[in-house]
Amino acid sequence: MHDLLDDWAQCNALRETSAILKLFLGLGAIIICVSSVTPSAPLFVAASMSLIILILAKIPIRIYSRLLLLPLSFALLSSTVVALMHGSGEMLYSMQLFGLEIGVREDGAALALLLIARTFGGMCSLFFIALTTPMIEIFAVLKSLRIPESVIELSMMIYRYIFVFLDQAAMIHSAQVMRLGNLGTRSALSSFSMLASVLFLRSWEQGERLIVAMDARCYDGRLDLMEERKGAGALEIAATAAFLALALAISLMTGEEGILRMGG
């Protein structure tokens, strides 16, 4: 019925790789991306993450490109504004709008490019985590990081029931569409409000049934958190470390140049 990120996280070629390593790689790459002062490192990260996702994790390019489209369009829009509003330096392009001169200056263009590169790199890294690591594995990592168990248990329940409610919402929505509940703005709006209220009531009832179901199996405040997982291999750890070191090196080296150039 729906195409979910979660489905891909469950069945991709990197599913069995150690979750903590994947998280470390993804988060490390994100930090390098957002802290880099030049576009080179983020672009390098974006390119390599995309390759990892497409080749190693075997996610179809159709799915991946559609996923990237949304954040990318946001990034393009906002960086256009930044390019127009920002900075000093040589005027690269200008035009007259309602008697006002607006244009892109060197500085603004560089910042816009950096912004796009950072967003792009960051999104690719985030999608790497989202597409290769199922939530349950993340819960297991959270547990090993000593996050309070009640927080993890609660998030596990929420995670589980998201899908139940998603199904219900989809069904209610179809029921409304079938009876033309989305014809015109007014009726679409009222249909949506109905959907929201019904969904709220249903989740309330589901909560009550959940308590019964747990009580029926002797609930005593304990939930089995996922069992131990095999650790990462030495080769995988080395590759991850090498990749992050390389990205960091690119970031630092081009960063120095960038600062020098700005200074000069």
Partner 1 sequence: MATILETRGIEYAYADGTRALSNVSLTIEEGRKIALVGPNGAGKSTLMLMFNGILRPDAGEVLFRNERLDYDSRSLRKVRQRVGMVFQNSDDQLFAPTVYQDVAFGPVNLRFPPEKVKRYVGYALQYVGLSGYERRPPHHLSGGEKKRAAIAGILAMEPEVMILDEPTSNLDPATSEEIMEMLDELNLGGKTLIISTHDVDLAYRWADEVVLMKDGGVLRRGSAEEVFGDLELIRDARLKPPMVVDLYQELVNRGLAEGKKPPKSILELCDSLEGGERRCAVQGAKRGTIYVCNADELLLENANELVVKVDADYTGAMGTRAKLMAEEAKIRVDFTYGVIDKCILKALAGKSCLVLTSQGMMGQVQKRIEAYSQQSGEEINSVDLSSGSNGRSLPIDRDFVGTKSLK
- Residues 5 to 64: which contact partner 1 by CB under 8 A? 6-7, 10
Q: Phi, psi at residue 22, to the nearest 5°?
A: -65, -40
- Residues 181 to 220: which contact partner 1 by CB under 8 A? 206, 209-210, 212-220
Q: Is 154 in the site for partner 1 (CB under 8 A)?
A: no
CB of 163 to partner 1, least distance (A): 4
Q: How many Å is the Cα radius of gyration of the chain?
A: 24
Binding mask 98-137 for partner 1 (x = CB under 8 A): ------------------------------------xxx-
Among 37, 157, 195, 252, binds partner 1 (CB under 8 A): 157
Among 164, 175, 189, 196, binds partner 1 (CB under 8 A): 164
Cα first-last separation, the chain: 57
CA distances, 79 to each of 83, 85, 106, 174, 239 (Å):
6, 10, 14, 38, 33
> Segment near partner 1 (CB under 8 A), from 3-11, 48-56, 77-85, 251-259?
3-11
Among 74, 93, 163, 200, binds partner 1 (CB under 8 A): 163
CA distances, 261 to each of 10, 16, 50 (Å):
46, 45, 30
> DSSP characters for 61-121?
HHHHHHHHHHHHHHHHHHHHHHHHH---S-EEEEEEETTEEEEEEHHHHHHHHHHHHHHHH
Site residues for partner 1 per CB under 8 A: 6-7, 10, 134-136, 139, 156-157, 159-161, 163-164, 167, 206, 209-210, 212-227
